Structure formats: structure tokens, C-alpha cells
Copies of this chain bind each other. A is one copy, B any other.
Amino acid sequence: MFKARIRMEILRELVEVISTLVSEVKLSVSKDGIDVKAVDPSHVAMLVLKLNKGAFEEFTGEPTEIGIDVEKLKEVLRLSKPGDVLDLQFDGGKNRLVLKVGKLTRHMAIVDPAGITDPKVPNVSPPGLAVVKMDDLRQGIRGSESISDHVTLTLEPESFTMHSEGETDRVDLSLPKAALSKLEVKEPVKSMYPLDFFSSMVKSITTSPEVTLHLGNEYPLKIEFTVADGKGEGRFLLAPRVEED
């Protein structure tokens, strides 16, 4: 059984990050909150998300899994306005998730959770990290988008840089240590990533003012962020693109 009330803004945050990677998702409900693991169809990117009980206005959960068509959640969100609180109720027997917003009730068929890929999350521990302002990241991404379809991230003891190179032009975002809340790396590390995934991920993070990027040499990227005013946390993993020499 699962019964909860949640502010539309917080549900919207979740839907944004989830829909970056998948169109169907499995919510793992426990008495402490909700967990999500998702991998994109090409297995290049992964999302691990935890929403604590405290992120909800009300929450009662027993261990269960609910498979959801993300597009349907978006439909319900479009029926709500800022400040609305949504009622969610799932009674396993009927295979229906019931959502209420205002005077409107939506009975939503759920997806068989057995049919949704349950990714094994690899243990990724890149050697360096930088805490970067989202505004800086977004500008760097917009700059790269007109240049190339991939981006190179470099972490050095004194700076973090984003670099994109096209046939004739190139773009660099260079953030000195002073522009970062935190920078930890012993030796320079550098990896190249597909820009479409990196861009979608960063753009889906809507409330975190900054994120932690964990970076290594030709190594998966880990992006850590918070959701629900800190009552939840997420991380994206993104496979590197091996640079041609």
C-alpha cells in the first residue's frame, strides 16, 4: 500500500529528471520514501534518486513497486498549478494509481514493474570533484551546443574547464578555483562525454543551485544534486566517450 500527498513542484522536479532518461519508471516504495533507478535504452546514462518521506506532505508506504508511464505523470502535472498538492494512492490489488488534484481524479493504469529494466548501479568513484554553479554549467552547455556533439571536461588543481571543438570553431568555459564552491583533485583528469546526454541531464536539474561533478580520466561522470529542498538526492552517471587520437 502507498498513500501520499506531494506538492506539484516536487513531483515536477522528479518527473523532469526521470523523463531525461526513460519513458517508464519503477518507483520502489518503502516506509522511508521512494527510490528510483533508471537506465536509458542505450545504457549510456543512469539515474539513482531517493526521495525521503519528509519530502511529502503526507506519506504512508509499505514495500511495493509501482511501474509508471512518465508521460501520464506529465499529463497530471499539466492539470495542476503552482501551490497545488497532489494526492497519490496505490492499492496493489486494483493495479491502478489514483491521483487527485483539486476536484479532479485520474485513475491511472500502472505498468508491470517486471517489464522495466532494473539497472545494476556500478560503483563509480572518480578521483576528482568540483562543485559547480548551475548557471555556469548551463552557459557552458549552450555555448557547446552550437559547436559540437560532445564536450570535454577537465579538472585541474586550480580550475575546471568545459571544452567543445568543431571543425572551425571552439568554445571553452573556464572556471578558476575561486568560482567553485569546492575543487578536489590531485592530478589533472579529463574525459569526453556526449553533449546531448550531458545537456539533458543538467537541464533537468531545476532547483539545485549547484551540483557536484565527479570526474576521472576517460571515466564515467557522476553528477550529484539535491531535489525537494534537500529532502531528496539524485545522481546521474554518464559513460565517457573515448577520444580519438
Binding site for B on A (CB under 8 A): 72, 75, 78-79, 102-109, 136, 139-140, 142-143, 146, 168-175, 179
Looking at chain A's contact residues, the main secondary structure is: mixed
Alpha-carbon distance between A218 and B219 when the two chains are bound, in angstroms: 65
A103 in contact with B139 (CB, 8 Å)? yes
- 30 A-B pairs with CB atoms under 8 Å apart are A72-B146, A78-B142, A79-B139, A79-B142, A79-B143, A102-B139, A103-B136, A103-B139, A103-B140, A103-B173, A103-B174, A103-B175, A104-B139, A104-B140, A104-B172, A104-B173, A105-B171, A105-B172, A105-B173, A105-B174, A106-B143, A106-B169, A106-B171, A107-B169, A107-B170, A107-B171, A108-B168, A108-B169, A109-B168, A109-B169
Alpha-carbon distance between A173 and B175 when the two chains are bound, in angstroms: 52
Alpha-carbon distance between A173 and B79 when the two chains are bound, in angstroms: 12
CB-nearest residue of chain B to A71: B146
Q: Which residues of B contact A170 (CB under 8 A)?
A: 106-107
Q: Which residues of B contact A105 (CB under 8 A)?
A: 171-174
CB distance from A212 to the nearest CB of B (A): 19
Q: Which residues of B contact A72 (CB under 8 A)?
A: 146, 169
The 5 residue pairs across chains A and B that have the minimum distance between CB atoms: A109-B168, A75-B146, A105-B172, A107-B170, A104-B143
Alpha-carbon distance between A109 and B143 when the two chains are bound, in angstroms: 15
Among B103, B142, B169, B179, the residue within 8 A (CB) of A103 is B179
Q: Which residues of B contact A103 (CB under 8 A)?
A: 136, 139-140, 173-175, 179
Question: Assuming A79-B139, A79-B143, A146-B75, is B171 touching A104 (CB within 8 A)?
Answer: yes
CB-nearest residue of chain B to A74: B146
CB-nearest residue of chain B to A133: B103
Q: Which residues of B contact A146 (CB under 8 A)?
A: 72, 75
Given contacts A103-B179, A104-B172, A106-B143, 14 further A-B contacts (CB under 8 A): A72-B169, A75-B146, A78-B142, A79-B139, A79-B143, A105-B171, A105-B172, A105-B174, A106-B170, A106-B171, A107-B169, A107-B171, A109-B168, A109-B169
